[in-house]
A and B are shown apart, each in its own frame.
Chain A
């Protein structure tokens, strides 16, 4: 191998931020976010709820009561932790797997189910809830978040936008364009990449030759960090730092969260074709719920009974909300036609005739 030419760009290896060890012990007290006991319990509540919702959603999918569904188990710390420190006015711009973030930022759960069932009301975000609908085109949402952040900056509002993609999404042109614009305009935006190791089936090793996704911030001239995405306290700390920077006019941050999806990419995917049992076992040791649960137990803030109680609550809530989704009036083609433009033009009015 040729040695490095002295004038070549040098980048150091990135260090991964963790606050808790997999055993739930504090390994980095300096990076511990300031949170009250009630807040710590609320974070655990949301993670346990999200896991139980995911379990239930898998069954609802099998029963045909949900449509397209992207499982989330394993990524709860990254998902719940990354929206927890945000203000209501901050904007959350998700990809297709990021339902938990928009629900915890205010989207009613039954609408998340309607979205999955292919009903337009699923995306009809209530007034005062600052989220966009999940994005299907990989990376497209990154530019929307950048534009929203540009809007915040022009209006001199101290809000931030956060957007999500995966390790696969970091290869898209829109990802690089978004980072670059955010750097050039110094925008209050957080690019949160959940690196779960696979873009459907393609492993990270085949995705890029970069040392990390966090390194890609260097080229764009924005802040970047890599964090343990299975450690909810590390996630919260990182987002707090990034959000504060954004609010202070110090620009954008790329956060790469190392995480793992326990389940398939979607209900149509088979993980045994591309992952080993050993690898799955390795990651299950790092489980975000177990780790944070142990930490809370050591502080006397959580018990196994609490977990059982929250699971029951989640189950009941999911049942209630899926029923509400099922009882929502069905879409019509005529109704669809009327949502194409503010005022339906004549040719579309005439096309209604076939559907009345």
Chain B
């Protein structure tokens, strides 16, 4: 076992897969020589050569489209989009072209592509670097969406994503890259795509979260514990496909739930989670499922982002609402 932060775990996943499968390629803006603006790919070009780990010209749509073409010729691209807001430039290639390849060709071709992108707020970054666009992505048929919350899951899920024969968005929260270290096994292991994880057991209320919000939820749960409230916290890990079974199992036990997301409130992942809880477990609910989310505004400039983002206090306030309903 080694101690790794999430960025190192992500790098290690790519190293393991580059070593294992000669069809794996890693590319994007600045990822080759320097190893990416966050150094997530540092050293990989040196180890695997310029043909397999390379810099691209600065054009996101072409990065996406090139990945699609490489997928057709049997490669397994791991393409980095430098910051999440830049995927707008490439949405056609990513959520239309890559996602439709299997369908349009009746299975003759597929897009075994991972699009890695940093996202998430609280780091005082420039505009359009820190948005949470996962809601936009899960609305698009034909792609999978993963958001890890810790180094162990990040490595195991990224290896699974690289081996997946369909396009996967792998969203890496900026505030988690260097946040803490975890025991991470050397070599290969996988974490299954589409499986949530109960990270804290409790009987009174279920808090559903992903990415950095798992940690915010855990802080809230620790505070709630002091008030005698046993909160169960579930890390969704994969947003599409969603592990509704684990969610429903928990709701059947606690009868109360809230969903926490950084993204704007309307029509997002939280709304989908609540819709599925209604479909599968409405008779087990003692209160409406509430959302703790960003307001429906443009993601703010750095000065007020800490107020904008969901906090333990807002989570606790909403937990109290569902407990006192």
The answer to whether A and B assemble together is: yes
Among A91, A137, A347, point to the contact of B97 (Cβ < 8 A).
A137
Verify A124–B108 contact, CB threshold 8 A. yes
What is the CB-to-nearest-CB distance from B32 to chain A, in angstroms, rounded to a whole number?
Answer: 12
Chain A proximity mask over B103-132: 1 for CB below 8 Å, otherwise 0: 111111110000000000000000000000
Residues of A within 8 Å of B148, CB to CB, are none
Chain A proximity mask over B264-298: 1 for CB below 8 Å, otherwise 0: 00000000000010000000000000000000000
Among B62, B69, B110, B241, point to the contact of A151 (Cβ < 8 A).
B69
Closest chain A residue to B272, Cβ basis: A347
Residues of B within 8 Å of A336, CB to CB, are 103
What is the CB-to-nearest-CB distance from A293 to chain B, in angstroms, rounded to a whole number?
Answer: 37
Residues of B within 8 Å of A177, CB to CB, are 57, 59, 61-62, 65
Interface residue? A201 (CB, 8 A): no
Closest chain B residue to A342, Cβ basis: B165
Verify A150–B69 contact, CB threshold 8 A. yes
Verify B103–A347 contact, CB threshold 8 A. no
Chain B proximity mask over A339-351: 1 for CB below 8 Å, otherwise 0: 1111001111000
Interface residue? B142 (CB, 8 A): yes
Q: Report Cα–Cα, A140/B92, bound state, in Å.
A: 8
Interface residue? B141 (CB, 8 A): yes
Chain A proximity mask over B91-106: 1 for CB below 8 Å, otherwise 0: 0110011000011111
Verify B105–A125 contact, CB threshold 8 A. yes
Verify B106–A143 contact, CB threshold 8 A. no
Verify A180–B73 contact, CB threshold 8 A. no
Verify B166–A144 contact, CB threshold 8 A. no
Residues of A within 8 Å of B66, CB to CB, are 143, 146-147, 150, 181
- Which 5 pairs from chain A and chain B are nearest by CB? A147-B69, A143-B65, A151-B73, A124-B106, A345-B241
Residues of A near any B CB (own CB < 8 A): 91, 120-121, 123-125, 127, 132-133, 137, 140, 142-152, 154-155, 161, 173-174, 177-178, 180-181, 184, 336, 339-342, 345-348
- In the assembled complex, 23 residue pairs joining A and B whose CB atoms fall closer than 8 Å, in A order, are A91-B72, A120-B103, A123-B105, A124-B107, A132-B109, A140-B92, A143-B61, A143-B65, A143-B93, A144-B69, A144-B97, A146-B66, A148-B69, A151-B72, A152-B73, A154-B70, A174-B62, A174-B93, A180-B59, A342-B164, A346-B245, A347-B241, A348-B241
